[in-house]
Chains A and B, each alone.
Chain A
Amino acid sequence: MRFPDISSCLECEEYHRGDNYESAEVKNVTAGDLMSEVLVFDKENLLLITSLNSEQTLRTAHVVDALGVILVNGKRPSEAMIRLASEMGISLLSTNKTLFDTCVALHHLITRAECGA
């Protein structure tokens, strides 16, 4: 699935559009708030969904070469986080939905090419 579809499905605020925002294909998703767990997830073309609103989220995303980060529960990233996202070329979006609802919506989108919100 691609970021423009993800963003409209979740009604996201877009804080930074990363490299290849329109064309990048998200193939794998990891959801959760403990960053070490993200580091175990050894997959490519990754999207990270979390409520952990800190610079460490971006740094972890950077370590695993994630394509983007979605913050849930309406969290707003700090200026420092937006700067990091921009330096790293990682898309940074935020949605008002809960992590549970976001997973449901995106699981639908990635398996059936249709927004499940």
Chain B
Amino acid sequence: MKITELHDQLGYKSIYLPDPDAQITDGYTSDLLSDVMANAPDGGVLITIQAHKNTIAVCGLAGLRAVVLCNNREPDEGMREAAQSDGVAIFSTPKSQFTVSAEISQIL
């Protein structure tokens, strides 16, 4: 699916979007960064509440294109800077990781 669908279809708040044409091919839900690094699929979107810079670093390493911050989490300064540096998109939503996982899988 196109990355813009996260906002257009699912209504998640778009906080940073470096490449509106990017494609998302999978979803990965986790708050443990070592797990994300080991198992997350390339081209995916990370569904988490970890709103800090290491999240972005791990996305870069694992080939994830975007992060959806759940439970109304917003990125701190370090996370915003890292996202700009590494070209990883950030979205935010009040919904839970459980709900967001299901919603994203429906439009993948």
- Chains A and B share a contact (CB less than 8 Å): yes
For A47, give the chain B residue with the smallest CB separation.
B98
Would you call B29 and A100 a contact (CB within 8 A)? yes
Using C-beta atoms within 8 Å of the partner chain, give the interface range for chain A.
20 to 34
A5 to chain B, nearest CB (A): 17
Which residues does chain B contribute within 8 Å of A29, judged by CB atoms? 98
A34 to chain B, nearest CB (A): 5
Which residues does chain A contribute within 8 Å of B28, judged by CB atoms? 98-100
* Interface residue? B105 (CB, 8 A): yes
Complex interface: stretch among B1-9, B30-38, B55-63, B84-92: B30-38
* Interface residue? A49 (CB, 8 A): yes
* Interface residue? A30 (CB, 8 A): yes
How many chain B residues touch A (CB < 8 A): the figure is: 22
Complex interface: stretch among A14-22, A61-69, A79-87, A103-111: A103-111
* Interface residue? A32 (CB, 8 A): yes
Would you call B49 and A31 a contact (CB within 8 A)? no
A102 to chain B, nearest CB (A): 8
Binding site for A on B (CB under 8 A): 26-32, 35, 39, 47-50, 70-71, 96-99, 101-102, 105
CB-defined A-B contacts under 8 Å, sample of 9: A31-B97, A32-B49, A51-B30, A98-B29, A99-B28, A99-B29, A100-B28, A107-B102, A108-B102
Q: Nearest 7 A-B pairs (CB), nearest first? A: A107-B102, A103-B101, A33-B31, A31-B98, A99-B29, A100-B29, A104-B105
